[in-house]
Amino acid sequence: MLGRIVALRRYPVKSMRAEPLDAAALHWTGLHGDRQHAFCRTDDRSDFPWLTGRQVPGLVLHAARYSDPGDPRLAQVRVTTPNGADYAVDHPDLAQRLAEAAGVGVRMLRLGRGAFDAMPVSIITTATGEAISQAHGAPVALDRFRANLLIRPDDPAATERDWLGHALVLGDEPDPPVLRLDWPIPRCAMIAIDPATAARDVGVLRTVVQQFANEAGVYCTVQAPGRIRVGDRVRLAG
């Protein structure tokens, strides 16, 4: 055994706060319901039109959740703003608030396959978080890295990079889900944003760039779907 899953995080709306889960369905397209809603800038015709914390840091303080966490396909997404207002994700007043913060027009999109930057599933280990915190000289919250799965390895020196190119079996079901770890995640200015306050600390990004080759966490592809749970064992396939 390599370790255990200690946290599952789903992001109903891209760049907003995570919805913590005890269990989730892992589909071919990623965690069911992950990043299936996103706001985009209406005047942006580039290949990355999304409104993210890079333009509006306060976006990370908006808490998005499914009204029925077990049925993301049909459930409504609700968003609670930092000042406590609550909206349906497609309410025009929410779009207007975000447009005012961004200084540009925005609109909400729902994407069945998810608005991912690159790959549908990401993992990071507690060991990576501890190493970054030590290098930075202060605690660095792993929520900054917005990974779907947090794994605590049995070997305290092991990180997700040690498993690159391998497949991980999750849990002990007869036909368990399997993830293949494909490549390290290159990081951007999002990790400079404190998920609890939205304050920027470029020193965090500088630490990751200079001491970790600007990589933290690993992108994965789904080799076998299934249901995953906090506490599930993680082991190498084969």
Q: What is the CATH number of the domain that holds 10?
A: 2.40.33.20
The whole domain housing 142 covers 3-236
Question: What's the chain's average pLDDT?
Answer: 95
Other Cβ atoms within 10 Å of 130 Cβ, number: 15
**Rounded distance between C-alpha atoms, residue 133 and residue 152, angstroms:** 16
Place of tokens 């030590």: 134
Quote the tokens at residue 115.
Answer: 């608005």
Judge whether residue 108 has pLDDT over 90: yes
Residue whose token pair is 């990401």: 122
Q: Cα(150)–Cα(125) distance, rounded to whole angstroms?
A: 5
User: Which of the 8 DSSP states describes residue 101?
Assistant: H
pLDDT digits (tens, 9 = 90+) for 174-228: 999 999 999 999 999 999 999 999 999 999 999 999 999 999 999 999 999 999 9
Number of domains forming the structure of the chain: 1
Closest alpha carbon to 146 in 208, 80, 193: 193
Mean pLDDT of 227-238: 94
Q: Residues 82-106, buried b or exposed e (16+ Cβ, 10 A)?
A: eeeeebebeeeebbebbbeebeeeb
